[in-house]
Structure 1
Amino acid sequence: MEKISVLIANYNNIRYFRDCYDSLISQTYNNWEAIIVDDGSTDNSVNIIKDIIKNDNRFLFYENSENKGCGFTKRKCVEYATGEICAFLDPDDTLYPAALKKSVEEYSRNKSIVATYSKMMLCDENLKPQNVFGSTKEIYNDKYFFNCPIQFAHFFTFKKETYLKTSGINPDLKSAVDQDLYLKILELGKVKFIRETLYNYRLHSSGISQENSKQIAKESFAYVIYEAMKRRNIKTINSIDVPSIYKSSDEIYFLLNYQTGLAYRLIIKLKSLFR
């Protein structure tokens, strides 16, 4: 069975790291490594994480010379990975015990897939389960799929050999980094939806996806989508021209409004069932 590299980009998340660590050492699948890259934390993360992982050589720890941002740090994580399969785990989140095992097994069953994703549980700050993220569903992956509205997220795993065929994660992105990764990987192959909950997503006030960061994330996601349109050589969508230069997120989301309609969603559902 393949080795899986669990990638952890840390910045000032030491408050929650112990839960993340415990979920990794509790995995039922043993052939894994954890790549941790710290992005200039100021909360004593470096010393505490090093102390927690010091007796387990499956954990490899690296530091950026200064704070570089999410895109740069996650790109570094993949560069350090030695596994055939990679997966990001945020340091404030956790995995279900069988998450790695169930994900890796899919690659053995189907050699043509390049990625997997599953359902995730939304939890409160103390990691108490609240409800399963309801938007996750089976997707129809074609050149017009942009994960907008969001239909898949964690737990996402991907073949490193596929990643190396892309331009890689944009190091300049501060948010929407995962979306950048998803769209680039899905341009190169099939993805498998695991209809089980494998990931605990912690909701807390300092999280990057919380209210105070949503507008920045919205802008970044629009730019990521625009870049994907350019890579895919999409000139028009529904007879509307794709802008030659990125100007605003509103232009991009306007192009994709039709994908929220009932008729479109029904067509995609039927395509997914009968492909």
Structure 2
Amino acid sequence: MHIVLVDTSRVVLKMIAALLEPHGHTVTVFTNSTEALDFIETTASVRVLITSLEVRPLSGLELCWSARLLAESNRPLYVITMSSARSERNLAEALDSGADDFIEKPPSPEELHARLRAADRLTNMQSELIRLAQTDPLTGLLNRRAFLSRSQEAAERVGNHGKMSAVLLDIDNFKRINDEYGHDVGDATIQAVARELGTDGIVGRLGGEEFGVILPHRPGTDAEALAGRLRRGIEALRLRGGKAPIRITCSFGVSEWIEGDTVEGLVKRADIALYEAKATGRNRIVTAISDLMLNRAG
């Protein structure tokens, strides 16, 4: 596991790191609690925070609370506090501040490794629960809620004057596929389209037969090019069903980030463009240019 270790004493840091590293753990040490918090925020691989209560400039309790808020429900994080003065009050305050565990300083090797085994079990369970909460079970893509959440995070990084674009797509005549060939074939169709989407950008299944791709820091021309590749790739697919292979097509709506935009606005414009693509013949790409639409076969 990746462990962040925080204490005011470099001797203590060195001693505890020497207990952890031979067991395969990656240990990053800090004497400054604010620097430790910044590192945790930007390093998703961190699974465990071990901090003394007597750290500065954030106290150990403040660091616990801030780290817990940082993790929320989006990432697994196990927090262990340490103190050379073990008391019921210290234990209660640490747990109330978001700590998962409390050990005396310096910790014994046996106790420390036992606590970390518990941390490993819990963070693995948290990671699986997070995956289930964010993933569409049929395709393995992000579900709608996670897709919009990741897109919002990307938009905050992009800022008002940055670049970002969106592609929405919908399987054409999907109800007919379900009605004629059954829901098993319908599910296989959704899975086939999902595989074509790959991992370029933030990719999600928005519901039913509709999918979305957000391309952070990339202009609308990139989104159009991606939509063109996807349209041709999906059109070339053939699925088994009935007496003849089933041909699949999708319609696409594209939009581009504009100054003062929101994720909701970006997605809404792409959705309106997608509706236009459906209404004007399907298996085509429509790009939203402000309030105008550019309709093309791809």
TM bin (shorter chain) = under 0.3
Question: Which structure has the greater CA radius of gyration?
Answer: 2
Higher helix share: 2
Give the TM-score of the pair, scaled to structure 2: 0.25
* TM-score of the superposed pair, with normalisation by structure 1: 0.26
Q: Which has the higher contact order (CA 8 A, sep 6+)?
A: 1
